[in-house]
Amino acid sequence: MTGDNWEADTRASYDTVAESYADQVRGAIAHYPYLRAALAAFAESTGGGPVADIGCGPGEVTAHLNELGVEAFGIDLSPAMIALARRTHPGLRFEVGSMVALELPAASVGGLLAWQSLIHVPDAEIPAVLAGFHRVLRPGGPLQLLFHVGDTSRLKTEGYGGHPMKVRVHRRRPERVSAWLRAAGFEVEAELLLDPAAEVPQAVLFARRG
């Protein structure tokens, strides 16, 4: 996979696995108290108004945020994911779009969350994506990222029940992501490491637009 077609490959991959991915994550948040705590902290720190869940997949987290009283909407690259999210959560707003070119007005969202979606964006495009997040967030708005921790990138060729995929998964160290965030104008407020002894831990970064 080259840098030129990663978005098309990622879109096609998640279109293929949308139903099985949704089956796998449905209700899963109930089993992850630290992730629920991260969402509760995020919900508490938004300054009201719409909040964007970028790379929302089937919309589980978007729906959870709404249950916490946050007016969250979802954006995802995969039309199949968005169709599924709309069907599952008919009262909520979901739109097809890419974080590489967010079609949102400047300073239009009170918070922005990207869980396990920045993991598919190549290093070279991260500064532009974070600049876009900064542009659409209101000053002081929170940004929360969840990602796999490590130094390697791998090509995932199947997933979620053996379906074919062609998607790069980039593992990154929190200090590296924090440096990108600071360079883009964010203050990094907290870092949460999940399963620190696991082969691939996960990290949540809590940042805020300065």
Ligand X SMILES: C[S@@+](CC[C@H](N)C(=O)[O-])C[C@H]1O[C@@H](n2cnc3c(N)ncnc32)[C@H](O)[C@@H]1O
Binding site for ligand X (CB under 6 A): 7, 10, 14, 25, 54-57, 60-61, 76-78, 81, 98-100, 115-117, 120-121
User: Would you say 123 or 187 has its CB closer to ligand X?
Assistant: 123
Which residue in the shown chain puts its C-beta closest to ligand X?
A: 57
CB of 91 to ligand X, least distance (A): 19
Chain centroid to Cα 127, Å, comes to: 16
Q: How far is the CB of 74 from ligand X (least distance, A)?
A: 8
Among 56, 46, 30, 209, smallest CA distance to 118 is for 56
Rg (CA), the chain: 16
Report helix, strand or coil for 162. coil
> Pairing mode, if any, of strands 202-209 and 186-194?
antiparallel
User: Minimum distance between the CB of residue 104 and ligand X, rounded to whole angstroms?
Assistant: 12
Choice between 55 and 110, CB closer to ligand X: 55
Look at residues 52, 61, 74 and name the one whose alpha carbon lies nearest to residue 25.
Answer: 61
In the bound state with ligand X, the residue whose beta carbon lies nearer, of 140 and 148, is 148
- Indicate left, alpha or beta for 122 from its phi (over 0: left) and psi (-120 to 50: alpha): beta
Separation of alpha carbons 77 and 94, rounded Å: 11
Q: Please, what is the minimum distance in Å from the beta carbon of residue 171 to ligand X?
A: 13
Q: Return the number of the residue (66 or 117) whose C-beta is nearest ligand X.
A: 117
Q: What distance in Å separates the CA atoms of residue 7 and residue 4, rounded to the nearest whole number?
A: 8
Given the complex with ligand X, which of 153 and 210 has the nearer CB atom? Answer: 153
Nearer to ligand X, 67 or 187 (CB): 67
Strands 94-96 and 202-209: unpaired
Least distance from C-beta 30 to ligand X, angstroms? Answer: 14
Contact predicate 75/95, CB 8 Å:
yes
Shortest Å distance, C-beta 87 to ligand X: 15
Alpha helices in 77-141 (DSSP H): 79-88, 126-136
